[in-house]
Amino acid sequence: MTETPLRDRGKVGGPRPRWLPARLAGLRSETGTARTMTFDVPEWPGHQAGQHVDLRLTAADGYSTERSYSIAAPAEDARVSITVQEVGTGEVSPYLVENMELGDALEMRGPIGGWFVWSPSPEAPVEQPILLVAGGSGVVPLMAMVRERARSGSRAPFRLVYSVRDPGQVLFAPELAQHAQDEGVQVDLVYSRETPKDFARPAGRITARDLATPPDAGWPDDPPPRAYVCGPTAFVEHAIRTLLDLGYTNHNIRAERFGPSGG
Amino acid sequence: MTEQSASNSLDGNAAAGPFTDVFGFDVSTVLVTCGGCRASAVFAEQRAFLGGPGTVLRCPGCDHLLARVVQTTDELWLDMSGSSCWRFPLEASTA
């Protein structure tokens, strides 16, 4: 493994991530098994696109459990949005997706993660092209990056390749269609099991052809693109191998894996 | 909870939260050198095992146990004996 240059790493330090009181203030259904939950966190210090939070739920008898969830949107006042995919056998996600109601409280620690982050570089003569590779609900932190690009007015070339099992699993579909109209943003869906009717690409897992920069993308030769990959561990490993075959290096791939046992 | 195998392990991104308890800040970008094979990678790219006991960080190359944090009712326990070096970047990123 090669050493990452110091300048490519975010500095350590900053405010100590503490457990903060959070109250559910907004709900939006995304699919039959996923919903976006917006929390009021009065002491929230702000965050970068790609970071996550730890949530802690404590039962009346004192039993408590923690889970990590990616933040779905740029910081807006003291509000933090996450999008939770229900894991049937999970201990926490069924509560979050089905039971938690507006006004209910939990504890939130964050933001966490200074590695899997993107922020605009308005001072750069040419902004680095960004390839986002999402598997299932791994799209959530990448969606935060797409939203941050729009919020900040960045002109960085963006391409999202989003792999889902079937059309019913697509998170943020209307908003993604909208962002795909933005100049410099391309969104490509890949269906692994079942496609919509008349969809050109047959169902199947992501290939080099899906991830190769399209010739008409107009990406600069320099700087080379950076890839952010997020999804279940097996998906991430496969995507990284494919990207390495395409000429990406360990220096310009950043990954975040979540386990099947998430819940 | 069943034990995670290497194929369904998480990465260091997921372990960063519990480690903030001991360090007081996010360690995702710290360069950790394996005491077994001497490979270095940032904390976020190491392999992580959650769910107990404690939070465990392992080398993705040789599976050596790098570090673990365990919280009991009255103690926070940090074992870093498997890693030879932690390098904390202090300069702001220019990437």
Q: Are strands A226-232 and A253-258 parallel, antiparallel or unpaired?
A: parallel
Nearest to A9 among B51, B61, B89 (CB): B89
Q: How far is A4 from chain B (nearest CA, A)?
A: 7
Q: Are the C-beta atoms of B73 and B60 separated by less than 8 Å? A: no
ipTM value for the complex: 0.85
Q: How far is A171 from chain B (nearest CA, A)?
A: 22
- Domain assignment present for residue A119? The answer is no
Look at residues A77, A112, A147 and tell me which one is the last residue of a structural domain.
Answer: A112
pLDDT tens-place string over residues B46-59: 999 987 789 999 99
pLDDT tens-place string over residues A105-117: 999 999 999 999 9
Look at residues A82, A112, A142 and tell me which one is the last residue of a structural domain.
Answer: A112
pLDDT given at position A256: 96
d(CA A120, CA A148): 8
Tell me what the mean pLDDT of segment B29-40 comes to.
Answer: 97
A4 touches B: beta carbon within 8 Å = yes
Chain B residues within 8 A of A1 when measuring between CB atoms = 39-41, 61
Sheet holding A226-232, edge to edge: A185-191, A158-164, A130-135, A226-232, A253-258
Give the CATH number for residue A104. Answer: 2.40.30.10
pLDDT tens-place string over residues B35-94: 999 999 999 999 999 877 899 999 999 999 999 999 888 999 999 999 999 999 986 544
pLDDT given at position A172: 97
Mark yes or no for CB contact B95/A8 under 8 Å.
Answer: yes
Q: Using the predicted structure, report yes or no on whether residue A134 has a pLDDT greater than 90.
A: yes
- Domain assignment present for residue A254? The answer is yes
The SS3 assignment for A249 reads coil
Number of domains in chain A: 2
Q: Are the C-beta atoms of B11 and B46 separated by less than 8 Å? A: yes
> Does one domain contain both A79 and A135?
no
* Closest A-chain CA to B94: A7
pLDDT tens-place string over residues A203-255: 999 999 999 999 888 899 899 999 999 999 999 999 999 999 999 999 999 99
Identify the residue among B20, B29, B59 best suited for mutation to test binding to A, counting A beta carbons within 10 A and taking the highest: B29
- Domain assignment present for residue A57? The answer is yes
> Does one domain contain both A135 and A96?
no
Mark yes or no for CB contact B41/A258 under 8 Å.
Answer: no
Give the closest residue to B65 by CA, choosing from B52, B49, B85, B89: B49
What does the domain layout of chain B look like in residue ranges?
7-87
Q: How far is B79 from chain A (nearest CA, A)?
A: 20
A261 vs A184, residue with greater confidence: A184
* Domain residue limits at A77: 19-112
Tokens 């360990």 map to which residue? A250
Mark yes or no for CB contact A256/B11 under 8 Å.
Answer: yes
Chain B residues whose C-beta sits inside 8 Å of any chain A C-beta: 1-2, 4, 7-14, 16-17, 20, 24-31, 39-45, 51, 61, 88-95
Mark yes or no for CB contact B17/A258 under 8 Å.
Answer: no
pLDDT given at position A82: 97
- Name the DSSP class of A212: S
A238 touches B: beta carbon within 8 Å = no
Mark yes or no for CB contact A255/B1 under 8 Å.
Answer: no
pLDDT tens-place string over residues A57-68: 998 898 888 899
Chain B residues within 8 A of A3 when measuring between CB atoms = 31, 40
pLDDT given at position A69: 95
Rounded to whole angstroms, what are the CA distances from A42 to A103, A177, B42?
Answer: 14, 33, 32
- Domain assignment present for residue A8? The answer is no
* Closest B-chain CA to A231: B10
pLDDT given at position A13: 66
- Domain assignment present for residue A243? The answer is yes
- Assign A122 a pLDDT band (cuts: 50, 70, 90): confident
* Closest B-chain CA to A260: B8
Identity of the amino acid at B5: S
- Domain assignment present for residue A2? The answer is no
Mark yes or no for CB contact B94/A115 under 8 Å.
Answer: no
pLDDT given at position B7: 47
pLDDT given at position A260: 53
* Closest A-chain CA to B89: A11
- Assign A130 a pLDDT band (cuts: 50, 70, 90): very high
